[in-house]
């Protein structure tokens, strides 16, 4: 049977180890949070790009470089290169640009949130109208960080 003094030493060592683990976990959470913010910025760019549709109508186009004339029979997002010179700029028709209306903004933006009650941090991956309660304490007090 170890003495109380020995047990105290073991516990102290255990506490030290756990605190170090907490520190490491905090650093990790911060890194993941930064990564999340970058990824969310990329998601925004992606959503933005999806909202603009460019379409060139069918018809006869003339190559800007060599004046070679080509008939395109399919509407296309991007005109192919000129058969004659490989040029990619054409005259003849303007592309039709369709803008899709963005969905109405949500109340809470995706990002890192902190519980107003217990202080635990949580990541919200998508914009939302309703934040879920804190996973740790159940309080409905998430605040954006």
Q: Are strands 96-99 and 59-63 parallel, antiparallel or unpaired?
A: unpaired
State yes or no: residue 66 binds Zn ion (CB under 5 A): yes
Q: Cβ 135 to Zn ion, closest distance in Å?
A: 8
- Contact residue for Zn ion among 9, 39, 52, 84 (CB under 5 A): 84
C-alpha–C-alpha distance, residues 72 and 51, integer Å: 25
State yes or no: residue 136 binds Zn ion (CB under 5 A): yes
C-alpha–C-alpha distance, residues 46 and 44, integer Å: 5
For 105, list phi and psi in degrees, rounded to 5.
-65, 145
- Contact residue for Zn ion among 85, 125, 126, 145 (CB under 5 A): 85
State yes or no: residue 142 binds Zn ion (CB under 5 A): no
What SS3 class is residue 65? coil
In terms of CB distance, is 87 or 111 closer to Zn ion?
A: 87
DSSP 109: -
Closest CA to 122 of 130, 112, 131: 112
DSSP 140: S
In terms of CB distance, is 12 or 85 closer to Zn ion?
A: 85
Residues 87-106 that bind Zn ion (CB under 5 A): 87
C-alpha–C-alpha distance, residues 29 and 35, integer Å: 10
Choices 7-15, 27-35, 49-57, 62-70 (CB under 5 A): range interacting with Zn ion? 62-70
Q: Cβ 141 to Zn ion, closest distance in Å?
A: 7
State yes or no: residue 25 binds Zn ion (CB under 5 A): no
The footprint of Zn ion (CB under 5 A) covers: 63, 65-66, 68, 82, 84-85, 87, 115, 117-118, 134, 136-137, 139
């Amino acid at each position: 049977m170890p003495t109380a003094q020995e047990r105290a030493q073991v516990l102290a060592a255990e506490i030290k180890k756990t605190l170090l683990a907490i520190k490491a976990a905090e650093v990790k959470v911060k890194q993941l949070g930064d990564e999340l913010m970058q990824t969310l910025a990329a998601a925004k760019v992606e959503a933005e790009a999806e909202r603009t549709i460019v379409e060139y109508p069918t018809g006869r186009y003339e190559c800007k470089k060599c004046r070679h004339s080509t008939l395109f029979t399919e509407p296309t997002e991007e005109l192919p290169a000129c058969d004659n010179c490989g040029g990619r700029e054409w005259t003849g028709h303007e592309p039709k640009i369709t803008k899709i209306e963005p969905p109405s903004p949500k109340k809470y933006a995706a990002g890192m949130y902190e519980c107003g009650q217990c202080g635990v941090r949580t990541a919200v991956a998508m914009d939302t109208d309703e934040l879920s309660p804190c996973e740790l304490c159940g309080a409905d007090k998430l605040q954006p960080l």
